[in-house]
Structure formats: C-alpha cells, structure tokens
Structure 1
Amino acid sequence: MPQSALALRLAALGDSLTAGYGLPAGDAFPAQLARALAAKGQAVEIRNFGISGDTTAGGLARLDGVLATAPDGVILELGANDMLRGMDPSSIQANLDAIMGRLQKAGIPVLLCGIRAMRNYGRAYAEELAAVYTGLAQKYDAPLDPSFLDGVTGVPGMTLPDGLHPTAQGVAAIVTRILPTVETFVTRLGTARASTP
C-alpha cells in the first residue's frame, strides 16, 4: 500500500499565518509541521488552505473547498485579521462557530488555534476575544492552542520587518511549541480512523 494511502490527511484553514506570508512554500506552517510530525514517525499530509488577509467570514465562505477534500481533521487558525480590524468578538465567534459546526456535522474533528488581541485594544476586548476560543473549544471538545503567535511576537528574528508575520525561524518556534498538541490530535484521529469499519 502506498505511503499516501496510510497517511492521515489534515487541512490547515487559516490566514497569512497559515499561508506563509513572505516565505517559500516549504517554510510555511503546514509544511514545517508535516516535517516535524514525520520526524516523530507520524505520516501526516497537511494541505495548506491559508489565504493572506482572510477573516473568519472568508474562511466560512470557502469551507466547501475544504470539505470537498474530505480531510481526517482540520487545523483552524483564523481571527487575527478580524482582530486587526477591530471587529466585535461576537462576530468572530459566530463565524468560527459556524465553521466548527459544519465540520462537526461532517464528522471532521478540529484543532483550534487562538490569537491574542494587541495591547492597544484594551483588556476588556482581549478577554472577550480569548473567551471566544476557549468557549468554542469546550463546546466542540476541540484541542486548543490559545495563542498561535506565543513566543514569536516581539521576539527579535522571529518576525518579518512588519513585526506581525513570522519568519521561517518564527514558524519553526510555533511548530515546536504546538507539536505536542498536534501529536495528541493526530493520535486521536488515527485511533478513530482505525476503529471505523
């Protein structure tokens, strides 16, 4: 049986942080994560559905394209552009809820990646935004990475000159930090697939 037939298939649905803005395709988050999993003996294919500038509404609008590939699981990383536009957390929640609800209906588990609000938005906004991700993770029993850019934002060498998007080194740091969560997610997917007749 070919290796591709054995591999779990993930879809990474996100914005520029998933797409790999300013980086070669091989340095983008999905590619680096797939290599890190392979080094751990996990055969996982990760399709990059990241689009720079995308919002939660944009992700919902193109969800059919993700569903059409019938992935075993989805890594959902959206909301940063909504936050940068100062959008109400309730609209972010509604869009992410709709995405996760449709994926659940299709029997596709989700690993949810959260983002933290920038300090200038104030404490109340930051807390409300954080609650969106923790609440949805609980609702859908989804593993959560609460802050996708944790350890990258503001660290020299980890971001491009814009101070927002990670360098290849920054992506590697994200992958190293999130890898245990992804490994647990992938193991759960593999167990579920093995038990399916």
Structure 2
Amino acid sequence: MTELFRTQTHTAATELRYLALGDSYTIGEGVPESGRWSVQLARALRADGIPLADPRIIAQTGWTTDELDAAIDAVHPLAEYDLVSLLIGVNNQYRGRSVDEYRAQFAGLLERAIGFAQWRRERVLVLSIPDWGVTPFAHEAARDAGRIAIEIDAFNAAAKEVCDARGVAFVDITAVSRAYGAEPRMLAEDGLHPSATMYNEWMRLALPVVRAMEAVG
C-alpha cells in the first residue's frame, strides 16, 4: 500500500471518490475518455491496489476561473471526496485577463476544492497551466510564443503562491508541455490540445505526488 492509504484496508465496498475540476485539459478535448489525464491517474492508482474510482469531472472547454465557479454552483457536487484535482487558468490568459483577478478567483476555487476534500488540503492536487504557445495552433495563428510563455509563467506563479500558502500540492506540468508540446504524437487533431500520450506524461508527474499524500481516514 502507498502512504495515501496506509492506515486503511480497502475493499470494493470502499471505493474512493475523486473529483476533477477544470477546463479542456481536464475534460480531455479531442481524446477518448480513457485518455484523460485524470482517468489515467485513477487507473494507475487502481493498478497499485488503491480502489480510486474514475473521476467525477466538472470541466468544459473554454472555461475560465469564474465560469468553473459558476458551474460548480449549478451542479452542486457532493462535498465528500477522497481526492480532488484542479487545473484552471489557460482561458483567463488566452482572453487577456489579469493575473490579479486570476489569483483571487483561483484562491476561491482552491478553497472550494479543499471543502470538497472534506477540508483535508492534503487530499487536493493542483496542476500548473501548460504552455499552448509552443503548439502548431499558436504558430499558425501567428501568436507570440514568447509573450504567451511569460504570461503563463505569471499565472502559474500566482497559483503556486496560493497553493503554497494553503499547503496544497502543486505539480508542474508546464515544463513537459514546452519540451514536447510541438510534437505531433503529443497533440490532438486540432494541433492545440494534448493527446492521450501527453496526458500520460502529466499523469506520471502527478502519480508520485498522489502516492505520497497523507493517509485518508
């Protein structure tokens, strides 16, 4: 057993619940459900003997922080999950919205995520915003990759600051998105969103962090 569940013996009757919050990167635009990074994460944990269910996903392509917040209000998810992930912010950057606004709205979403995790911040996982500026979509649209990178870094710095202040795990997947994000095998057909192969890279970065989380109980 990993540290995450070291104090419990689980059976099929005690399937653990997972809530994944986000935008296109969480819903997996352009990939089958099985290819989503959050679904791959749950599958990998089950292979470790941890009975984590596939995630309940509240996410949609194009959502900003305030749109995700409104969607959560509309859905009213149950407030008792064993793991909660949050990945949001690329559309704030894409629409030219401010880092200060993002920081405030992200902080509110993170508090909600902690609440859904039964107020156990050690059950919450945040992924950084990937850099879409390296993709063929950005190149073909003549977008300034350097500027996008600077802005993405600023948004991620704000999110990490909020996570660090609350003791929430922050996983940097931005570097791998920059290293491989222009490769055809790492992209969905639209040349913008990640493929299941890229999502697997993200999952590999998240997996040891989740494995090391404090025991649920």
Q: Which residue of 2 aligns with 1:112?
A: 126
Q: Report how far residue 143 of structure 1 moved.
A: 0.4
Distance 1:133 1:100 in 2: 9
For residue 58 of structure 2, what is the aligned residue in structure 1? 49
Aligned partner of 2:69 in structure 1 is: 60
CA contact 1:14–1:77 (8 Å) conserved in 2: yes
Taking structure 1 as the reference length, the TM-score comes to 0.83
Aligned counterparts of 1:166 and 1:125: Cα–Cα separation in 2: 20
What residue identity is the alignment partner of 1:99?
L
Q: CA deviation at 1:150?
A: 2.2
Contact 1:20 1:28 in 2 (8 A): yes
Q: Deviations over 1:140-184 (max 9, x none)?
A: 100001235724422331012433211122222221222111222
Q: Could you tell me the TM-score, scaled by structure 2's length?
A: 0.76
Please say if residues 85 and 113 of structure 2, whose CA atoms lie closer than 8 Å, have aligned partners that are also in contact.
Answer: no
**Per-residue deviation, residues 12-48 of structure 1 (Å, max 9, x unmatched):** 0011111011122222222211111111222112222
**Does the C-alpha gap of structure 1 residues 148 and 8 become closer, same or farther in structure 2, counting only changes over 3 Å?**
farther
| Alignment correspondent of 2:137 | none
Cα separation, 1, equivalents of 2:76 and 2:183: 33
Q: Which amino acid aligns with 1:80?
A: V
Tell me, which stretches of 5 or more residues in structure 2 are unaligned? Answer: 1-9, 134-144
Is the contact between residue 49 and residue 66 of structure 1 (CA under 8 Å) also seen in structure 2?
Answer: no
Aligned length: 189
Q: Percent identity?
A: 27
| Contact map agreement 2:31 2:188 (CA 8 A) in 1 | no
Unaligned 5+ runs, structure 1: none
1:39 is matched with 47
Asked whether 1:130 is paired with 2:138, we answer: no
Which residue pairs with 1:15 in the alignment? 23
Residue identity opposite 1:36 in structure 2: A
Residue correspondence of structure 1 range 1-197 to structure 2 within 5 A: 3-45=11-53, 46-64=55-73, 65=75, 67-68=77-78, 70-105=80-115, 107-109=119-121, 110-116=124-130, 118=133, 119-121=145-147, 125-147=151-173, 150-151=176-177, 152-185=180-213, 188=214, 191-193=215-217
Q: 1:135 offset after TM fit, Å?
A: 0.5
Higher relative contact order (CA 8 A, sep 6+): 2
One-letter code aligned to 2:89 = G
Amino acid at match of 2:193: H
Any idea what SS the aligned residue of 1:30 has?
helix
Contact persistence 1:11–1:71 (CA under 8 A): yes
The structural deviation recorded for 1:139 is 1.4
